[in-house]
Amino acid sequence: MSQVATEHRSGATPDHQGIVVQGLTKYYGDHCVFKDISFEIGPTEIVSVVGPSGCGKTTLLRCLNGLIHADEGSVLVDGDLVSKPRPEIAIVFQDFGLFPWKTALDNVAYGLTVRGTPKKKARETARDFVKLVALDGFEERYPHQLSGGMQQRAGLARALAVEPRVLLMDEPFGALDAQTRELMQFELLQIWDRNPAAMLFVTHGIEEAVLMGDRVIVLGGRPSGIHEVVDVPLPRPRDAATVASPEFQNLRSQVWDLVMTVRRNTAGADEE
Amino acid sequence: MSTAAATKSAANTVRKVKRKKPLPRWAALLIGLGVGAVIWELAARIYFDPIFFAPLSEVVTSLVTLFGTDTFWRALGESLQLFVAGFSIGAILGLVIGVAIGRVSLVAAALESYVTLLYVTPPIALIPFVLSILGFGYWPKAIIVAWFVFFPVCITTIEGVRAVNPRLIEVAHSFGSSEAKIWKDILIPSTIPYAMSGIRQGIALGFVGVVAAEFLLDASGIGLLLRTYSRLYQTGNLFAAVLIMTALGLSVMAIGRVIERRFAPWRQ
Amino acid sequence: MATVGDKTQAPATAQPVQAVRKQRMSPRTKRILTRILAVLSVLVVWQVLVALFGRDFMATPLGIAEAIPQVLFNDPKVWPGVWETFSVVFRGMAVSIVAGLIIGLAMGRIPFLADSMAPYVNGFYATPMIAVLPIITLWLGFNTSATFALVVFAAVPPMAVAAWDGAKSIPTRYLEVAESFGARRRDVWIGIAIPASLPYLLAGFRLASGRALAAVVIAEFLIGTGQGLGIHIMRLAQNFYHDEAIVALMILTMVGLFLAVGVEAIIRRRYPWFRVTTPS
């Protein structure tokens, strides 16, 4: 499987600098979605973001890939300002976002074809990534013929196929049942180990955040901002044993307490 | 989610956000109508023979004049009367038969196939038959209008009666409710939204039926006006009459939507 | 004419429905027979009513049955008429679908166009086809061009409204995905708007084809000349050949239905992925 990784790792260059977010602030009208968010993600780091509903996690993610523009602050990827979607930045959606009229293979190839890769070549490349996410055999199926887990693998393959420097995950396993969710977490970690990229992993799940990330950012408050950042120095590769370890459980409690605090703060500020 | 245009600046400085304000909707509407009006006026005056294409100004004058005449209002009254007559017959029959088909399986067995078959037949095509059997006159026209109205009402009513949750009827039966009470408490309230949707379609089709009947059978009402003006090449009046038809059609559709929203808010 | 479901009859064995009563037929057979009888009884009533009260040119079930082979095989005007009428419908629909798509998509994606063109689309939709025909014949004469024009007039608005609805209703997620992966405007319009609106477009197609058929019939009636099936029906009816006229009318209806259903079936086959939510 690492064959695939080396063949497609062509993008690694010395100036792969990861993500730098500085002073990011966003308003919708008068409502402040988040204020003054700053953090960095190294070129091969995973940073998780947790927080109560409404803390702006999703908006933050959209700012990072250029779909939305913040009112203040900046986002740099590899040293360049992000002002619109770029080929180095790929995003995976919670509801998969597959086009129902395309087969799984064509969906995976979409990121390539839409930026001009000839269809034949795009599909060849896509096939490799379909195999990578263990979806081979299902290439010609339509999304409605795939289970949720399979659809999300396709969504993941689509993002990976463009060989991004940055992977943005928007609660990618939120729509899956608990078992599939856990399986997918480990699978994603394995895939990422072989094809590292800077990853921002937004989630509601506290365990998930600790499992995935090198760091966990706890977002929240009124106005929403970075409440605290927790380092997760657990060794990689991570697996079921990691989850069972006492260190993991400690970190999990730590993050849990922080999130509960933030929830109370946010709720408290609401009661006026 | 709106994507605001942003100006590029050096990495760490604050960015100003410019939001493009969209044109207010009424302004767009006015522009659309205005452009159309101008094109109409100019094209008619410059390119076309006035016999074939009356300019907007002439049409407007004709409209105003028309409103002043007796003929117009009488014609409108005739058409309206015809509509009411035909609509009532068609709607009542549609409701009664629709309920009968929906509720009584024997009736359904007998009639439903015919109703569905006739539903897909273009109603206009039936007019020559009515004409040759019943000849000219008021009631043949009313029958034609009733025909247009009957089918949407009947079909939606059947759907409505069938959509009643059979569980509810079971419950009513098990509590010893009489058939009449079942009707009152369960069937009628749940059928009404569907029937109203059918009535909305019936109103629109009834309008079409009136015009068709007045055109193809002995002319009266607005249909007569249309035929007269076209025969006499009074293009200004003709266009004006058509505009009135458009206005009537739009009102009919609007009334229908109001009815539907009042009774069947869950339908699009 | 009437479908009664499958006509296989269960053997008339002595199957007791209840322990007490012995019936000669299975309940299923009984049901099927009842339905056949019900349908036939309507025909019988019809035949009797006409015999008693009607005039002798009026159509009756027996008369229609007799006329069917006559009209289908011996009437030289029927099939050329079908061809003539439906080629106009076909051409008109082709033009209307394209025009309606373009207009509707544009309106769905560009709010200014939606607001400015709405009065025209709605106005044309609400105006009865018959009312517009005198103007059309004034301009184009009493010929097939006028018929064609009326078909287009009748079919474009429902297609445009359907495309408009569909384009407006494209789930934002698809647009987000497209934008995130760097799609250009054109990719979005063609690659996403059309497939995503397919259910709406299909509903619009159904409406439009119904109106197109009505338009052709109206035009043929009022123009009065030509070889179309509509005119043939009208003449048969006027000359008191009602049985034949009804058969011809049935042919008209069946061909129209067949085409509309056929197109829809082809599209569903080719694009198995969408589920139609019928916007009424």
Structure tokens belonging to residue B214:
């007045």
- Count CB pairs under 8 A between chains A and B: 31
Q: Is residue B18, in this structure, part of any structural domain at all?
A: no
Confirm if C259 and C278 have CB atoms less than 8 A apart.
Answer: no
Name the minimum distance, in Å, from the CA of A183 to any CA of chain B.
Answer: 33
Question: Helix, strand or coil for residue B6?
Answer: strand
Indicate whether B96 belongs to any domain: yes
> In this predicted structure, what is the pLDDT of residue A130?
94
**In the structure, what pLDDT confidence band is assigned to residue A271 with cuts at 50, 70 and 90?**
very low
Task: Write a three-state SS string for B138-202.
Answer: HHHHHHHHHHHHHHHHHHHHHHHHHCCCHHHHHHHHHCCCCHHHHHHHHHHHHHHHHHHHHHHHH
pLDDT of residue C32: 85
Closest CB from B1, B26, B207 relative to C128? B207
Evaluate whether C188 touches C175 at the Cβ level (below 8 Å).
Answer: yes
Shortest distance between the Cα of A36 and any Cα of chain B, in A, equals 11
Closest Cα to residue B125, out of B207, B206, B249, B212?
Answer: B212
Task: List the Cα angle B252/B254/B257 in 5-degree steps.
Answer: 110
> Does pLDDT of B23 surpass 80?
no
Q: Is the pLDDT of residue C16 over 90?
A: no
The mean pLDDT of A135-157, rounded to a whole number, is: 92
Q: Are residues B35 and B109 in the same domain?
A: no
| DSSP class of B16 | P
Please give the residue range of the domain that contains residue B42: 24-53
**Is residue B217 included in any domain, yes or no?**
yes
Instruction: In whole angstroms, give the CA distance from residue B264 to residue B68.
Output: 39
**Structural tokens at position B185:** 């408490």
Average model confidence (pLDDT) for chain C?
84
Q: What is the pLDDT of residues A92-142, one digit of tens each?
A: 999 899 998 889 999 999 999 988 889 999 999 999 999 999 998 999 999
**Helix ranges, chain B (H):** 25-46, 56-68, 70-103, 105-120, 127-134, 138-162, 166-174, 179-182, 188-216, 221-231, 235-263
pLDDT range class, residue A269, cuts 50, 70, 90: low
pLDDT at C177: 92
Chain C residues touching B31 at Cβ < 8 A: 116
Residues 6+ apart with CB under 8 A from B240: B59, B60, B62, B63, B66
> How are beta strands A46-50 and A215-220 bridged, if at all?
parallel
Distance from CA of B23 to the nearest CA of A (A): 18
- Geometric angle at alpha carbon C60, from C55 and C66, rounded to 5°: 120
Q: Are residues B89 and B122 in the same domain?
A: yes
Q: Which span out of A44-48, A237-241, C167-171 was modeled with the highest average pLDDT? A: A44-48
State mean pLDDT over C133-148. Answer: 90
B6–A81 C-beta distance less than 8 A:
no
* Confidence category of residue B235, pLDDT binned at 50, 70, 90: confident
Sign of CA dihedral B181, B187, B193, B199: negative
When pLDDT is averaged across residues B118-136 and rounded to a whole number, the result is 89
Q: What is the mean pLDDT of residues B54-60?
A: 85
How many Cβ atoms sit within 10 Å of the Cβ of residue B126?
Answer: 19
The mean pLDDT of C109-122, rounded to a whole number, is 90
The pLDDT of residue C218:
92
Residues B107, B109, B112, B114, CA torsion sign: negative
CB < 8 Å to C245, chain B: 128-129
**Stronger pLDDT, B230 or A48, i.e. the higher one:** A48
| Interchain proximity B211–C128, CB inside 8 Å | yes
Establish if B13 belongs to a structural domain: no
Q: Tokens standing for C74?
A: 């011996």
- Looking at the fold, whether B94 and B196 belong to one and the same domain comes out as yes
- Tell me which of A105, A113, A114 to substitute to probe the interface with C (most C C-beta atoms closer than 10 Å): A114
Same domain for B118 and B34? no
**Average pLDDT of chain B to the nearest whole number:** 83
Question: pLDDT band at residue A91, thresholds of 50, 70 and 90?
Answer: very high
Number of cross-chain residue pairs from A and C with Cβ atoms under 8 Å apart: 54
Q: Does the residue B4 lie in any domain? A: no
Which three-class secondary structure string do you get for chain C?
CCCCCCCCCCCCCCCCCCCCCCCCCCHHHHHHHHHHHHHHHHHHHHHHHHHHHCCCCCCCHHHHHHHHHHHHHHCCCHHHHHHHHHHHHHHHHHHHHHHHHHHHHHHHHCHHHHHHHHHHHHHHHHCCHHHHHHHHHHHHCCCHHHHHHHHHHHHHHHHHHHHHHHHHCCCHHHHHHHHHCCCCHHHHHHHHHHHHHHHHHHHHHHHHHHHHHHHHHHHHHHHCCCCCHHHHHHHHHHCCCHHHHHHHHHHHHHHHHHHHHHHHHHHHHHCCCCCCCCCC
Give how many domains chain B has, as a whole number.
2
Q: Is the pLDDT of residue A170 over 70?
A: yes
pLDDT at B179: 77
* Statement: residue C279 has pLDDT above 60: no
Mean pLDDT, all residues of chain A: 87
Phi and psi at residue B17, to the nearest 5° = -110, 125
Burial label, C28 (beta-carbon count in 10 A; 0-12, 13-18, 19+): exposed
> Mean per-residue pLDDT for A3-12?
38
Distance CA C11, CA B33 (A): 71
pLDDT for the residue numbered A221: 84
Same domain (yes/no): B235, B153: yes
In a domain, B8, yes or no: no
DSSP B69: -
Q: Do B48 and B140 belong together in one domain? A: no
Q: Is the pLDDT of residue B106 over 90?
A: no
pLDDT of residue C6: 44
CA-nearest residue of chain B to C217? B125
Q: What is the mean pLDDT of residues A68-89?
A: 88
Token reading at B34: 């205005």
Cα distance between residue C100 and residue C207, in whole Å: 12
User: Based on the domain organization, do B183 and B152 belong to the same domain?
Assistant: yes
Residues 6+ apart with CB under 8 A from B87: B145, B146, B149, B202, B203, B206
- In single-letter form, the type of residue at position B69 comes to T
Q: Is A63 on the interface with C (CB under 8 A)?
A: no
Closest CB to C181: pick one of A85, A143, A144: A85
DSSP string, chain A: -HHHHHHHGGG--TT---EEEEEEEEEETTEEEEEEEEEEE-TT-EEEEE--TTSSHHHHHHHHTTSS--SEEEEEETTEE--S--TTEEEE-TT----TTS-HHHHHHHHHHTTT--HHHHHHHHHHHHHHTT-TT-TT--GGGS-HHHHHHHHHHHHHHT--SEEEEESTTTTS-HHHHHHHHHHHHHHHHHS--EEEEE-S-HHHHHHH-SEEEEEETTTTEEEEEEE----SS--HHHHHSHHHHHHHHHHHHHHHHHHHHHHHHH--
Please indicate, yes or no, whether residues B43 and B176 belong to a single structural domain of this protein: no
The verdict on a CB contact (< 8 Å) between C34 and B120 is: no
- What is the pLDDT averaged over residues C80-88? 92
Q: To probe the interface with A, which of B8, B9, B14 has the most A CB atoms within 10 Å?
A: B14
- The answer on pLDDT for B131 being more than 60 is yes
Q: Which chain B residues are within 8 Å of A32, Cβ to Cβ?
A: none
My answer on whether B126 and B45 are in the same domain is no
Judged by a CB distance cut-off of 8 A, whether residue B3 touches chain A is yes
Segment among B74-78, C175-179, C269-273 with least mean pLDDT = C269-273
Q: Which amino acid is at C255?
A: V
* Beta carbons of B29 and C115 less than 8 Å apart: yes
The CB density around residue B40, as the number of other CB atoms within 10 Å, is 17
Distance, in angstroms, between C185 CA and closest chain A CA? 11
At A225, give phi and psi (nearest 5°). Answer: -165, -175
Residue C249 reports pLDDT greater than 90 = yes
Chain A contact present for C170, CB below 8 A: no
Q: For residues B40 and B115, state if they share a domain.
A: no
Spatial separation of the C-alpha atoms in residues C154 and C208, rounded to whole Å: 7
In 3D, which of A57, A81, A72 has the Cα closest to residue A208?
A57
Per-range mean pLDDT, top range of A247-251, B166-170, C43-47, C182-186: A247-251
Q: Within a 10 A sphere around the Cβ of B124, how many other Cβ atoms? A: 25
Interface membership of C181 toward A (CB under 8 Å): yes
Mean pLDDT, range A4-27, rounded to an integer:
65
ipTM: 0.81
Provide the pLDDT for residue A267.
65
Minimal CA–CA distance to A255: which of A247, A104, A59? A247
CA angle B186, B189, B193 (to 5 degrees): 135
Window A:127-166, CB contacts with C under 8 Å: 142-144, 158, 162
Q: Around Cβ B245, how many Cβ atoms within 10 Å?
A: 23
DSSP B124: G
Q: Is B11 on the interface with A (CB under 8 A)?
A: yes
Q: Region C237-264: what's the mean pLDDT?
A: 90
Interface test with A, best of C170, C172, C173, C181 (most A CBs within 10 A): C181
In-domain check, residue B127: yes
pLDDT bin (cut points 50, 70, 90) of residue C132 is very high
Q: Let me know whether B32 and B116 are in one domain.
A: no
**Which has the minimum average pLDDT: A7-21, A162-176, B183-197, C221-235?**
A7-21
Range with lowest mean pLDDT among B206-220, C14-28, C52-66, C231-245: C14-28
In a domain, B233, yes or no: yes
Contacts of C30 in chain B (CB under 8 A): none
- C40 sits in the region (left: phi over 0; alpha: psi -120 to 50; else beta) called alpha
Q: Which of C187, C195, C272 sits opposite A114 (nearest CB)?
A: C187
Mutation for testing the B interface, residue in C112, C133, C188 having most B CBs under 10 Å: C112
Cβ–Cβ gap A91/C183 under 8 Å: no
The one-letter code for the residue type at A111 is: G
- By C-alpha distance, the chain B residue nearest A66 is B3
What is the pTM (predicted TM-score) of this model? 0.76
- What is the arithmetic mean of pLDDT over C117-146? 91
Name chain A's partners: 3 or more CB pairs within 8 A.
B, C
Sort out which chain C residues have CB atoms less than 8 A from B152's CB and list them.
none
Q: Which residues fall within 8 angstroms of residue A8, CB to CB, at 6 or more apart?
A: A125, A128, A163, A195
Residue B50, pLDDT score: 72
Which among C92, C93, C97, C100 has a CA at the least distance from the CA of C147? Answer: C92
Residues in B closer than 8 angstroms to A81, CB to CB, are 8, 11
Closest chain B residue to A27 measured between Cα atoms?
A: B17
Residue A2: predicted pLDDT:
40
- Whether the per-residue pLDDT at B8 is higher than 50: the answer is no
pLDDT band at A12 (very low <50, low <70, confident <90, very high): very low
List residues bridging with A24 in a β-sheet: A37
Residue of chain B whose Cα is closest to the Cα of C140: B52
Confidence of residue A189 (pLDDT cuts 50, 70, 90): very high
- DSSP assigned state of B19: -
Residues of B in contact with A71 (CB under 8 A): 15, 17
